[in-house]
Structure 1
Amino acid sequence: MARMTPTVPSDPAGPIRLLAVRDTPLSLDEVFAAVGDDAAGGTTLFVGTVRDHDGGSRAAVTGLTYTAHPSAQDALRRVAEKVAADFPVTALAAVHRVGELRVGDLAVIVAVSCPHRGEAFAASRRLIDDLKDQVPIWKQQTFADGTEEWVGV
């Protein structure tokens, strides 16, 4: 698998502070620090982790492999720009992992800072929902019985 660009360059003075699709472990500290801003009264941090079962079938999951289309980085930027335009975002960050992950590994982290908590919750919810819906990243689940399943393709 090709190594994804670690970080999309952004204007440190603008609201989009960190965007990345990476094949290396994600850092809560990095994402939280990226959205720190004295103008923000509310900051939300969402962390998606690899769970030990499939949400629909409840089958035991032993790991996941995330694969991203080459356009994933650009799609992530479009999603982030739309959220920043629709909400009073002070700062925004989103990182998604690709490659092989084990149960408990961090798969995605999004964080949003806004003047007030309600705005931060709403913007963060939109960010993760639109990321999952619009950014071409797919997962292949591996089950304890040796079978596999693609999700999101």
Structure 2
Amino acid sequence: EAAPDPHHVEKDLAAADEVRAAVGRPGRGLEGFRSSHQDALAAQALVIRLGSDRRFTAYADVELIDALTKDRPGARRFVVNTLGPLAEADTALRQALLTYVQCGFSTTRAAANLYAHRNTVERRVSRANELSAVKVEDNPAHVAAALLVLDIAPDIVTIAP
């Protein structure tokens, strides 16, 4: 039997103003409940720690970022050292690069996900890679992780540590 998808809660939240939710991974039995509850608490703590305005956070989506941001100044250094000037560049450039990585380095798939023309995505990815201190082809995991930190906490670079 497949585990339930916690993202259905996100759709329900769209209609409810001023409501936030953090959910853990689904589990079975008492231990599964405890584990899921701990995940949800960690997701909630992450959102609070990073000052995010997200209304829905699934721990499975942010587990890596949680590990990276336990120390906010360390997370800031990681983002700045990885992305360089890209960290403060146009959001569209960062989103294009992140989507490109998430789509398996396919500009065609990234363009479809972003509802943009393939050439536009190629230009944005190219420009983002020029600005990034670490090139996506050299370390895609670090670049993607740094971009995800910025996606969750866009102010992490501009607010003093």
TM-score bucket (shorter structure): under 0.3
**Bigger-Rg structure (1/2):** 2
Question: Taking structure 1 as the reference length, what is the TM-score of the superposition?
Answer: 0.25
The structure whose residues are more often helix, as a share, is: 2
Question: Which structure's relative contact order is higher, taking Cα pairs within 8 Å and 6+ residues apart?
Answer: 1
Question: Taking structure 2 as the reference length, what is the TM-score of the superposition?
Answer: 0.24
